[in-house]
Structure 1
């Protein structure tokens, strides 16, 4: 039995019509399942499921052109959230490890953000319900794809921040991930960079988070941190150590000389955080280190 030869998809534009166009066309004729629309000498099919109402010959309708699931140029009366030449945030609806991620652009056929335009690491890929800032582009066969926002375009969109933003909590969405960290656009359209050292977990493209502004640059861009300010964190860690000591009758066999892996296992904090917290308590004369032990310093009225 001979295999049927696979036919190459015919994706070329019909005359001057191309996917991504929004235009007004005239109903040329009706069929059992839809309508043929005409623009000059060009025709395209509008399925009845893509029409918002019953149409008649010579009616004029505004449509958006795209390639349907059989790779034919087709029309829909649904309007896209993002059109050719525009940028906008689109929601991720599905993820394909082989192809990329699919975005909801307001029409029945989802828009593909191709794998080549996504981060190399899988855990930096968007997840369903994340938001991606994209525009439209065509591949070599004329099919519509999503194109991530460029740095030049973000610069046009962005609003410079001022020094009053320092230490404020803001919400932002990741639009680019690099080895050193992630770039976000805040809810007020400020550009924000978070270095990997200032993350509490790896950020992914399209993820929306809240963070603290740690620095306002001269050009109006922001640096952010997902961690508490050091003085706040030191205080929380110090309180944690003090509670531990109280629960052990005021003494524990751990000091600033204890190995890092033991500190992390016992207190779920780094050796440096442990030493800072312990240093804070010692400076306040609340604890002391004696013969490899850390002990609470009792006041006279507590002895």
Structure 2
């Protein structure tokens, strides 16, 4: 059984306090309030394991906002003389000792954290001193490779992301064409891995693959608007961004693809679906 992770366990027995899950060597309680309406002894159930208020392993069917060895943006619920306690979607808040706070945390504010297992106490805890948990290896990502990223923070330079829960990455501000929320996980694409190991990322595919995707988006918008879209070469970039969430350059390439395929007509007031 792994604390801080999802475990698929066998249902051993039903009691007044809940279901006991596990095997002959080890079991854990799934409290009554989390027991599904229908279950059968001997069947398997997937649960998340953590320590309850008495530091005993306990199972839940609730889904936490973060798992062991992952990053997340979490809000501080309260602070006491030992440290801060974060809302991570479970009954017992996630503890951040004062020594693990990059700067003193405040109630109600959100912070980028990493959840780890304290080897001395075997308790789950979090730290906002996250830099030591990023990989120092040079990644072997390929250009246009699809990856999962989490939005970590935003600067004047662009949107900083965490790639595959391991590497730092950056999406430059002039390539951001959608609303960004800290902590959000989304797919992205590798733009390049620089010689110094820094990774440039984009939210859209690059090259010919990107043109295909953008053309499909323009076509979808045309169909949704009865075959007409009031955008053209002279449209303001912000108008294109508002309607299609793409750059003017990408829009012109997409329109060119559709025109060459004889799917649309281009007129002074916009584009028309044939």
TM-score scaled by length of structure 1? 0.43
Point out the structure with max Rg over C-alpha: 1
